[in-house]
């Protein structure tokens, strides 16, 4: 069935948008800012996977793990060396800093990996499987499975670890968290690490089904940002719902309306939701 074919494609894209949106929400919850470095962390995840699996010849699953860990480490360095020295909590200053760091990081990516487009092998054999009348690539299934696993890991982290509980406390009431001695610097670095891991996983999962370049994460990151706002910025369930909804709407509209407006549709939906329900589709 053609309809199910487009539904599966939309779910695969929606999983990627949800991961990126979760990264935005984690940093926003800990620091109250929009972290525009997130778009380049998506690119970096794909670049690390390319270096590990193609250049170093490691198995793709090992390269995937290396991409997630490597991107998380870079995100921690961004917070420690790029934001913390500013010695200010003013949201506008920090947002502008993330914009500047994003430009620097994108330039560094071009210097290290170049501007040419590259190909990354998929996690499993690129042989479609039939599900509910549709032919689905294994990579699409891996996108959804690993996204669900990542969401489960985040739920465990925020509810079952001391650091996760500290991050939730900072997100709920920063002043009260500071009074009881929760270290803000550690929480912020952890938030960036989690956001980097989400962005790196998203970039590593999506690059095998598209071409990899130094700016591949820009459009994906903006769509993830749109998904976060669509679901209700700062809401983790909203990020997942917004990502899945955006992926489905985008895929079905491209199939039944026109693929020429596929990339613009995400932002049209975003504007409509902001006009109709500024707080997002998931009530916080």
Residue 206 near residue 17, CB atoms below 8 Å? no
Q: Which residues contact 145 (CB under 8 A, 6 or more apart)?
A: none
Tokens at 13, concatenated: 């894209």
Q: How many CB atoms lie within 10 A of CB 81?
A: 10
The Cβ-side half-sphere exposure at 77, using a 13 Å CA radius, reads 10
Tokens at 137, concatenated: 């690539």
Residue 29 near residue 167, CB atoms below 8 Å? yes
pLDDT score, position 153: 87
The Cα 143–Cα 149 span in angstroms is 10
Taking the mean position of all CA atoms in its chain, how far away is CA 94? 20
pLDDT score, position 196: 92
| Angle of CA points 263, 43, 145, to nearest 5° | 80
| Total residue length of the chain | 284
List per-residue pLDDT tens for the chain, 284 residues long: 577 777 888 888 888 999 999 999 888 887 888 889 999 999 999 899 999 888 888 888 898 999 999 999 999 999 888 888 887 778 888 888 999 999 999 989 989 888 888 878 777 777 767 777 677 777 888 888 888 898 888 888 888 788 878 877 776 666 777 777 777 778 888 889 999 999 999 988 888 877 788 888 888 888 888 888 888 777 788 888 888 888 888 888 777 776 667 777 777 877 887 777 777 776 55
pLDDT score, position 158: 81
pTM: 0.89
Dihedral angle over CA of 163, 169, 175, 176, nearest 10: -100
Backbone angles phi, psi at 212, to 5 degrees: -105, 130
Q: In 3D, which of 79, 114, 70 has the Cα closest to residue 214?
A: 114
pLDDT score, position 233: 79
pLDDT score, position 248: 85
pLDDT score, position 75: 93
């Amino acid at each position: 069935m053609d309809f199910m074919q487009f539904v599966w494609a939309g779910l695969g894209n929606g999983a990627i948008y949800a991961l990126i949106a979760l990264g935005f929400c984690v940093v926003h919850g800990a620091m109250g800012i929009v972290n525009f470095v997130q778009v380049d962390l998506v690119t970096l995840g794909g670049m690390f996977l390319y270096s590990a699996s193609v250049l170093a010849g490691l198995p793709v699953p090992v390269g995937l793990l290396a991409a997630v860990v490597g991107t998380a480490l870079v995100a921690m360095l961004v917070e420690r060396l790029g934001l913390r020295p500013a010695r200010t909590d003013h949201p506008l200053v920090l947002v502008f800093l993330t914009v500047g760091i994003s430009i620097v990081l994108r330039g560094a990516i071009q210097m290290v990996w170049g501007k040419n487009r590259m190909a990354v092998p998929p996690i499993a054999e690129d042989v479609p499987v039939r599900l509910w009348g549709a032919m689905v690539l294994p990579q699409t299934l891996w996108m959804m499975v690993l996204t669900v696993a990542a969401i489960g890991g985040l739920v465990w982290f925020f509810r079952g670890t001391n650091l996760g509980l500290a991050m939730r406390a900072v997100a709920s009431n920063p002043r009260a968290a500071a009074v009881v001695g929760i270290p803000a610097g550690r929480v912020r670095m952890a938030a960036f690490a989690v956001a980097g891991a989400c962005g790196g996983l998203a970039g590593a999962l999506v690059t095998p089904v598209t071409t990899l370049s130094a700016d591949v994460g820009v459009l994906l990151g903006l769509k993830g940002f749109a998904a976060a706002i669509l679901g209700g910025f700062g809401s983790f369930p909203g990020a997942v719902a917004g990502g899945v909804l955006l992926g489905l709407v985008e895929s079905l509209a491209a199939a039944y309306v026109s693929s020429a407006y596929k990339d613009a549709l995400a932002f049209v939906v975003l504007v409509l939701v902001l006009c109709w329900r500024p707080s997002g589709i998931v009530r916080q």
